[in-house]
Amino acid sequence: MVKSLPKKLTKRFKEVMVLVNTGFGSIQFIHGVREKTFHIIAGIACTRKAR
């Protein structure tokens, strides 16, 4: 989905921020978004525990 963002949108704005829910994401996804130099805002459930 992030790859399909229109170039007009990503070129016009200096910073693109992607809102994600970590319950549905993966570390590979986050790294992929960061490779595009986008910023990530991640939501994490308060009941989630570190492994």
pLDDT in tens, 10-50: 888 888 888 888 777 788 888 888 888 888 888 888 887 77
How many angstroms separate the CA atoms of 45 and 36, rounded?
26
Write down the pLDDT at residue 15.
87
One-letter amino acid for residue 33 of the chain: V
Write down the pLDDT at residue 1.
75
Residue 21 within a domain: yes
Residue 25 within a domain: yes
Residue 14 belongs to domain spanning: 2-43
Residue 51 within a domain: no
Q: How many domains does the chain have?
A: 1
**Six-digit token pair at 11?**
């070129």
Could you give the angle at the alpha carbon of 39 between the alpha carbons of 36 and 44, nearest 5°? Answer: 125
Please tell me the pTM assigned to this model: 0.60
